Amino acid sequence: MIVALVSFLTQEQVLIVSTSAEIDIDRTEQQITITQNNLFSIEGYREETKKGLDSLMKINSLLPELAPLRLTSKEFYEQDGALNAVLVLEYDNLKDLRKMSVYADQQGNLSYPYMPDFEYTMQTGRIEDRHVRFDEGQDVKFKMERKNMNMPGTYSLLEDWKALEKANDK
């Protein structure tokens, strides 16, 4: 499971995870795009998760402790029978990326922790030891997906999202 980064938007304890995440950091635009595919939760947390999802749909800023990162857009959408989310963030300095576990060294090389339970699809960068590394000036573009997705007791958030969309449109 990948803890859904949409949870950056709420103070509530919400267990929302995704099967995969695509991370794109454009250094020129100083913009981060995070796409999370197939948002789901665990059955025992259904009521809390539904409340948290409703909150996430209404909130338009990041938690204060994530400053100086700024949310510029957020979108929830259905695709292939699943609920997905895209967050677009801005940053001022490479060191700001630390809030997302992306670390910059003095030369401007970036790294992200490598987790062996995930499969990585690299558009840029490379895997070295315990890190995914990106050289100075290189944009960050990769996808990470859980290798073993056999998790009993989980449910898709798609139907809850559709119900909340309908209720919020009234």
Distance in angstroms (rounded) separating the CA atoms of residues 145 and 88: 20
Q: What is the SS3 string spanning 29-84?
A: CCEEEEEEEEEEEEHHHHHHHHHHHHHHHHCCCCCHHHCCCEEEEEEEEEECCEEE
10 is a domain residue: yes
**Number of domain units in the chain:** 1
Q: Find the domain containing 94 and state its range.
A: 2-147
152 is a domain residue: no
Two structure tokens written together for 55: 């909150």
143 is a domain residue: yes
Q: Is 105 helix (H, G, I), strand (E, B) or coil?
A: coil
H or E element, residue 163: helix 158-169
Q: Taking 70 as the threshold, does the pLDDT of residue 12 lie above it?
A: no
Q: Which range, 49-53, 128-132, 144-148, is most confident?
A: 128-132
Q: Taking 90 as the threshold, does the pLDDT of residue 170 lie above it?
A: no
Contact call for residues 51 and 12 (beta carbons, < 8 A): yes
pLDDT at 11 (0 to 100): 58
Two structure tokens written together for 57: 């749909």
Q: Taking 60 as the threshold, does the pLDDT of residue 43 lie above it?
A: yes
Q: What is the pTM of this model?
A: 0.90
End-to-end CA distance of the chain: 34
Residue 161 burial (C-beta neighbours within 10 Å; 0-12, 13-18, 19+): buried
67 is a domain residue: yes
pLDDT at 136 (0 to 100): 95
Q: Taking 50 as the threshold, does the pLDDT of residue 29 lie above it?
A: yes
- Give CA separation, 71 vs 9, 34, 91, 153, 162, in Å: 9, 11, 9, 32, 23
54 is a domain residue: yes
The mean per-residue pLDDT over the stretch 38-51 comes to: 88
Rg for the chain, CA atoms, rounded? 16
99 is a domain residue: yes
Q: Taking 90 as the threshold, does the pLDDT of residue 112 lie above it?
A: yes
43 is a domain residue: yes
pLDDT at 8 (0 to 100): 58
